[in-house]
Structure 1
């Protein structure tokens, strides 16, 4: 960043610990709902959309088509980051987060009402893809806004524990979405295909009412209020981020790799791998995802506190290295086909990659000064997500090319993990020295 980006301190607003907790919790609830909606599509792509919407004569081709629509949601996320990052840095974090939660809730609910391929033909997968893109645009502005709100309200010495709260939305959203599908998958096959799979998506409508209520009660970031008062807003935040901080964008992308791509590899792809390649039941694979998500909650809480003592960069680097080291053993365990071991393998994999994910909030947000933070965090994280979103599709193709051998998929996890480890090291070196509420010269 240039001196012009970091010069001029913003007076530190006074934020109580109680207020920081309340804002962090509100960010978590909204983000959990967003991720519930978003993860539903990933689960459905593995067990529903490949059969009912992307109808072909080849099972692998149908799964690839379903995962391609899944990946388009990630491609749309940087677009959402640009749109909502601009709004978040110009009109405010709170108002922008209200828009994102409404958009994803409506898009998700409408998916549950879509007719399938046998009813309306090619229009079914096309409409499904459009709604997936809208989901991606909304999520592109959601996470960065929730993280920005939590970080900018947090006392510096407690940043790790509060910034991890929006991260908890990921495992909670996974638990809710996988749990919902686990329940409806107990229906007879005909009932599940006819209407059962739709229920988790339609539930997005009542959840949206709750999320909007909570979001309306959130106060604006005190830092943004100060930026308004001192006229410190950027005219076109995204342009300044790209022009002066490309190295920081690349670092944020690297940091995000295993937490996004690795996670969907061990959930969305592994569900498909377990059911279609290993011949395991949907119930078992969904149960493995549920146990892994439950373990992730504990990992996130623990390493959010650890980061306050040793630094977010070290947690990210060590977590990335641990995930790389365990990539092959995780798939060896899953390949045993033993139900208990399958659950153990998925749980270990999700738990280890959750170590760096716990510190994404403070680590990525500290790459950018406050006046560019919403845009910078959103652009870097979601560009990484756009790359990682193709992981299930690439893994499916490599699995087919390797004759169904999981070593090819484990290599993907190793690559993502090492990218995150490198990103963690660079992020610690590039972080801007501020107390969250000031913009000072970067180290």
Structure 2
């Protein structure tokens, strides 16, 4: 991309203060979004079968509760198309404000829902509808947050700054797990009647804070320059990003999909499904499983920061590839720990499985931004990443179905985890080769 606008002026580069503001805004915004998302996932695994599917026998209620969780992943590619188009045409900032408002409102409304015992079958229908809206919004959030930071950052610090939105994932995990741990201290009757609503209602407060911060940031310099250049070209303005994406970037989309499966499939295998498996099959207490999730999130956050720095020293593709290989190696000890039968060892396995995913996750956003051109970068990242999210969203339900057929074996987790992170290593390697072939500065 050119370094100057159509009138020859070089766009003003953000100051360090502005860059820090963008990084903090993206971090807190994605933390709030992931808090909402993980909150639903944890409650889907723990109690939503009793609240919204009490008439179904045995594991059927749990499967349907997890399937409502997967509904959000169905919505994410559609959200990627819609908000990707808005992000490429109207701007990153405007689009991110809209996604934040939608998911914060939808999550808060879940806390106001009547249950099955109050309104019957309408309750799970409303729950699934709000879950769909959550997913629609998240389909446009992460990609936009990554691009805002990467497109503001200097070239030699794009991987570490680009890792900031990824930190929203472990922070959201810590917040959601911590809040759930607190409300589960309530007597069971109180938890099932009103206590479960509190974490969702808290989303309204978080929405106000995150929205205030997001309104303070400036639009991406890359988008401002692209907008200035397109003002002199009607053909450029007439382009539809998703059409241009499909026409010119299908190989990049495929690589993003296989590389990013770990970010949803691997993560939710080690959280949503592992929570269900550990409590129902291994007999672990909910508090211990949530503690393991919290520790895993802290380990993941540390890994994200370290791998982000390594991404600037080497390359994002190199670190993503190495992270996938490291996670593949860790599959065996994680599965052994989970199958040990000892609650503390099993909890350690969950924490390690979550934590190791932070290694490829740190520089992932920066790698993805290098694969697409300016004119459809938001659409490219959002649509491809969320197709991977759609596939990965069904991993917990697939694992539960395999568990039902094969028996209560922990190696279901190990097998699926190995396949997913192995694809990350392959995708990272191939993505790196493509970046080297076509990389353009932006």
Bin for the TM-score computed over the shorter chain: over 0.9
Deviations 1:348-402 (A, max 9, x none): 1112121111111111111101111110000110000000000100010111111
- Residue 53 of structure 2: aligned partner: 54
Which one of the candidate residues 414, 417, 422 is aligned to 2:418? 414
Report the 3-state secondary structure (helix = DSSP H, G, I; strand = E; otherwise coil) of the residue aligned with 1:397.
helix
The 2-side partners of 1:308 and 1:148 are apart by: 16
The 1-side partners of 2:314 and 2:127 are apart by: 45
Structure 2 residue runs without a partner (length 5+): 231-235
- Residue 363 of structure 1: aligned partner: 367
Deviations 1:23-82 (A, max 9, x none): 111111111111111111100101111111122342311111011111110010000000
Q: CA deviation at 1:115?
A: 0.8
Alignment of 1:25-424 (within 5 A): 25-231=24-230, 235-424=239-428
Deviations 1:129-179 (A, max 9, x none): 000000000000000100010110010001111000000000000000011
Deviations 1:264-312 (A, max 9, x none): 0001110000011111111111111011001111110011001111211
The 1-side partners of 2:4 and 2:74 are apart by: 35
Q: CA deviation at 1:10?
A: 5.4
**Is the Cα–Cα contact under 8 Å of residues 371 and 439 in structure 2 kept in the other structure?**
no
Q: CA deviation at 1:212?
A: 1.1
The 2-side partners of 1:229 and 1:107 are apart by: 35
**Is the Cα–Cα contact under 8 Å of residues 337 and 346 in structure 2 kept in the other structure?**
yes
The 1:104/1:323 distance shift into structure 2, 3 A limit, reads same
**Is the Cα–Cα contact under 8 Å of residues 291 and 347 in structure 1 kept in the other structure?**
yes
**Is the Cα–Cα contact under 8 Å of residues 72 and 136 in structure 2 kept in the other structure?**
yes
RMSD between aligned residues: 1.4
The 2-side partners of 1:314 and 1:234 are apart by: 37
Normalising by structure 1, what TM-score? Answer: 0.95
**Is the Cα–Cα contact under 8 Å of residues 73 and 137 in structure 1 kept in the other structure?**
yes
Report the 3-state secondary structure (helix = DSSP H, G, I; strand = E; otherwise coil) of the residue aligned with 1:302.
helix
The 1-side partners of 2:394 and 2:56 are apart by: 23
The 1-side partners of 2:4 and 2:71 are apart by: 39
Q: CA deviation at 1:18?
A: 3.4
The 2-side partners of 1:10 and 1:29 are apart by: 32
**Is the Cα–Cα contact under 8 Å of residues 46 and 272 in structure 1 kept in the other structure?**
yes
**Is the Cα–Cα contact under 8 Å of residues 259 and 426 in structure 2 kept in the other structure?**
yes
Q: Does 1:434 align with 2:433?
A: no
Of 127-136 and 111-120, more deviation after overlay is shown by: 111-120
Q: CA deviation at 1:9?
A: 6.1
The 2-side partners of 1:233 and 1:333 are apart by: 56
The 2-side partners of 1:57 and 1:95 are apart by: 43
**Is the Cα–Cα contact under 8 Å of residues 253 and 381 in structure 1 kept in the other structure?**
yes
The 2-side partners of 1:223 and 1:253 are apart by: 25
**Is the Cα–Cα contact under 8 Å of residues 74 and 385 in structure 1 kept in the other structure?**
yes
Q: CA deviation at 1:324?
A: 1.6
**Is the Cα–Cα contact under 8 Å of residues 150 and 162 in structure 1 kept in the other structure?**
yes
Deviations 1:95-140 (A, max 9, x none): 1100000000000000011111111111111100000000000000
**Is the Cα–Cα contact under 8 Å of residues 44 and 69 in structure 2 kept in the other structure?**
yes
The 2-side partners of 1:59 and 1:140 are apart by: 33
**Is the Cα–Cα contact under 8 Å of residues 27 and 167 in structure 2 kept in the other structure?**
yes
The 2-side partners of 1:275 and 1:340 are apart by: 13
Normalising by structure 2, what TM-score? Answer: 0.95
Of 300-309 and 329-338, more deviation after overlay is shown by: 329-338
Report the 3-state secondary structure (helix = DSSP H, G, I; strand = E; otherwise coil) of the residue aligned with 2:59.
helix
**Is the Cα–Cα contact under 8 Å of residues 89 and 234 in structure 1 kept in the other structure?**
no
Q: CA deviation at 1:433?
A: 1.9
The 1-side partners of 2:341 and 2:175 are apart by: 25
**Is the Cα–Cα contact under 8 Å of residues 163 and 361 in structure 1 kept in the other structure?**
yes
Aligned length: 430
**Is the Cα–Cα contact under 8 Å of residues 160 and 363 in structure 2 kept in the other structure?**
no
Report the 3-state secondary structure (helix = DSSP H, G, I; strand = E; otherwise coil) of the residue aligned with 1:59.
coil
